[in-house]
Chain A
Amino acid sequence: MTRAAATESPLGRRVLIGIGMVFLALFLALPLVVVFVQAFAKGWPMFLDAITEPDARAAIRLTLLVAAISVPLNCVFGVVASWAITKFEFRGKSLLISLIDLPFSVSPVVAGLIFVLMFGAQGWFGQWLIAHNWKVIFAVPGIVLATVFVTFPFVAREIIPLMAEQGRDDEEAAVSLGESGWQTFWHVTLPNIRWGLLYGVLLCNARAMGEFGAVSVVSGHIRGLTNTMPLHVEILYNEYDFVGAFAVASLLASLALVTLVLKSLLEWRFGYHQARSAH
């Protein structure tokens, strides 16, 4: 048997794989199992009660609403920003690229505080908003703003490299064949980025539904009104309602699992697609 110089001994390899497996089991698989075990600790009826009681239903509705607003918004922002960055040369381009990453490097709590400072009662626009009877902080608009901010990079980061790699040739070809810019976007650009875009939307959605820090700062934790699912889980847990907390948590965990499966499916499809169209 020949062995490459960089290959570990069979024993070493087994030990390394073993350590990796144990770590994964302890820190990823076990907590996930615990969430579901706890959620069903007192049986189906309690679980169903916990997720259908009015406050839980309100939290689920709010989470879905926030995701339904912020994901499409970030989808549009992401495509527009990527388009601008990859298809045009302009001043301040590198600044824009760094700005897109800002939400990833800023702590979500700080992100939430930014919005309180701007739109809160004592904030820059606070008096003006009160005068016009608009509520942003401790209300749904604030939660949407915070979520949009935190989830902004997901779509843009996914499709910028894709668009950069594809260049402008396809669009120019379409234009030379008589298409307008808008037609070109629908017929050529969008189909070219669709898998990457879907992937970004998926990650964006998972984060939008799961976001805790930034939302926690701007929400005010008003039960049945401004509590999203993650906030609702925290409240229930602090009140020692473990079944309730874990029941709602298990919904979030299921979302994560679904996201994971879809993501793998996309990666498989996406990778396949990329490999096929490589020149």
Chain B
Amino acid sequence: MSIVIDALSKRFGAFAALNGVTLEARPGEFLALLGPSGSGKTTLLRMIAGLDFPDAGHVLFDGVDMTDTPAAERRIGFVFQNYALFRHMTVADNIAFGLTVRARRDRPAKADIRARVAELLDLIQLPDLGHRYPAQLSGGQRQRVALARALAVEPQLLLLDEPFGALDAKVRKDLRRWLRDLHDRLGLTSVFVTHDQEEALELADRVVIMNRGLIEQIGTPREVYDTPATPFVSAFVGETNQIPVTIAAGRAAYAGRQLDVPTAGISDGPAELHFRPHQAELGADVPGTLPILVGAARQRGGGWRVDATLDAQPIEFDVSGPVPDRGTRAGLRLTDVQLFPVR
């Protein structure tokens, strides 16, 4: 199922939660809405679900305007951050809920519902836990039950609000992979909200980065990481060092010292220079490099992450060779940078 979000706006009192958001999810796509809290990502998800309604704009499913259709009639699967399992019902009754509440003429026969529940319990790999109550399950198990409950009505669109937020790191990693696999197998279109950039980059086909009710960038994980469209995206996705520079005659300079970095397409004037810890090489303090003072180093992956200061500003970079001594003055040659003009 394709989703089109067209110029969606929503205010809560004086607070603009969404400020004219437009985007599209293609059939079969796994889309992540990524942003800090208050960025409007959850509001957007709730509007796709029909749990909130926009002040302006439209939501279309497969070209059909669903803007004013209530959640109950949208046939979507929604997984809540805290699962919202019905605590007074068994796991099996929870999963069957979306089927048993249907009007009699649409309701499958009891045996069919039972079969469907058994099938879903198998799918979530909890075949023997149908008779348990939600309180008797672990967090990861609850999460999977919530997913099975959402899938029972055979939605074409699956919406997930911070689906792994309440789980510990190990369970989170396993579930992530399992969910992605499930999405592909069932041919769903899925949208999930997260504030965890690692999760978004690992799981999603495309990532929508939101900030203050606006979309900053939409792109594949690679695109948003390698070519961030705005300083916000660059800082929010992955680790970034930011330093103020001035562009003059096509050359960037930090505090009067010219740097050997490409400046194609950036007009003269003040700019923000971003580079990631791995986009720098340590060398001698010579022209064209950033003059830094080396601080502490810590093991990170296969190499070392070094803390340094550029004047008073903290800078982080990676080294794969020998670790520089603390207190050394050195030069940092930037191998790749992002430049954003300051307006």
* A positions within 8 Å CB-CB of B: 169-170, 172-180, 183, 187-188, 191-192, 194, 276-279
Residues of chain A within 8 A of B73, CB atoms compared: 178
Contact between chains at A191 and B86 (CB < 8 Å): yes
Asked, given contacts A187-B101, A276-B135, whether A176 binds B88 with beta carbons under 8 Å apart, the answer is no
Contact with A along B48-84 (1 / 0, CB 8 A): 0111000000000000000000111111111011101
A-B contact pairs, 19 of them (CB 8 A): A169-B80, A169-B84, A170-B86, A172-B71, A172-B78, A173-B84, A174-B101, A176-B71, A176-B74, A176-B78, A177-B98, A177-B150, A177-B152, A177-B153, A178-B72, A178-B102, A179-B72, A187-B101, A279-B166
Considering the chains assembled together, what is the distance between the CA atoms of A175 and B135 in angstroms?
A: 22
| Interface contact B86-A178, CB-CB below 8 Å | no
Checking A174, A179, A180, A192 against B88 with a beta-carbon cut-off of 8 angstroms, the contacting residue is: A192
Is there an interface contact between B82 and A279, defined as CB atoms closer than 8 Å? Answer: yes
Do the beta carbons of B84 and A172 come within 8 Å of each other? yes
Q: Is the interface of B mostly helix, strand, loop or mixed?
A: loop
In the docked arrangement, what's the CA distance between A173 and B70, Å? 13
The answer to whether A176 touches B135, judged by C-beta atoms less than 8 angstroms apart, is no
Taking a contact as CB atoms closer than 8 A, the residue among A170, A177, A276 that contacts B101 in the complex is: A177
A95 to B139, CA, bound (A): 39
Known contacts A188-B86, A277-B134; A180 and B72 CB within 8 A of each other: yes
Interface size on B, residues (CB 8 A): 33
B304 at the interface (CB under 8 A from A): no
Contact A175 B72 (CB under 8 A): yes
Report the Cα distance A178→B96, complex, angstroms.
12
User: Which residues on the B side are within 8 Å of A277 (C-beta)?
Assistant: 87, 134-135
A176 contacts across to B, CB distance below 8 A: 49-51, 71-72, 74, 76-78, 150
Residue pair B82, A169 in contact (C-beta under 8 Å)? yes
Contact code string B85-99 (vs A, CB < 8 Å = 1, else 0): 111100000000110
CA distance A277 to B75 in the complex (A): 28
Q: Measured between alpha carbons, how far is A169 from B42 in the docked complex, in Å?
A: 13
A175 and B84 form a contact (CB under 8 A): no
How many Å lie between the Cα of A175 and that of B152 in the bound state? Answer: 14
Q: What residues of chain B have their CB less than 8 Å away from a CB belonging to chain A?
A: 49-51, 70-78, 80-82, 84-88, 97-98, 101-102, 133-135, 139, 149-150, 152-153, 166
What residue of chain A has the Cβ atom nearest to residue B87's Cβ?
A277
Cβ distance B105 to chain A, nearest Cβ, rounded Å: 14
Give min CB distance, A272 to chain B, whole Å: 11
B97 contacts A174, CB within 8 Å?
yes
B71-A175 in contact (CB<8A): yes
Given A174-B86, A177-B101, A179-B72, list of 8 further CB < 8 A pairs?
A172-B71, A173-B78, A173-B85, A176-B49, A176-B78, A188-B86, A191-B88, A194-B88
Residues on B with C-beta less than 8 A from A178 are 72-73, 75, 98, 101-102, 153
Query: CA separation between A173 and B79, bound complex, in Å?
Result: 8
* Most chain B Cβ neighbours within 10 Å, of A188, A191, A194, A278: A188
Residue of A nearest to B134 (CB): A277
A196 CB, min distance to chain B CBs, angstroms: 13
Given known A178-B101, A178-B102, contact A172–B80 (CB-CB < 8 A) = yes
Give A180 to B73 CA distance when docked, in angstroms: 9
Q: Are A175 and B86 in contact (CB under 8 A)?
A: no
* Cα A187 to Cα B139 with chains together (Å): 24
Q: Is the CB of A175 within 8 A of B70?
A: yes
Least CB distance from B86 to A in Å reads: 6
Provide the residues of chain B in CB contact with A169, threshold 8 Å. Answer: 80-82, 84
Contacts of A172 in B (CB 8 A): 51, 71, 78, 80, 84
What is the CB-to-nearest-CB distance from A89 to chain B, in angstroms, rounded to a whole number?
9
Complex contacts, B149 vs chain A, CB 8 Å: 173, 177
A261 to B135, CA, bound (A): 28
Which of the listed residues B70, B73, B81, B86 has the most CB atoms from chain A within 10 Å of its own CB?
B86
A192 contacts which chain B residues (CB < 8 A)? 87-88
Which of B78, B87, B102 gathers most chain A CB within 10 Å?
B87
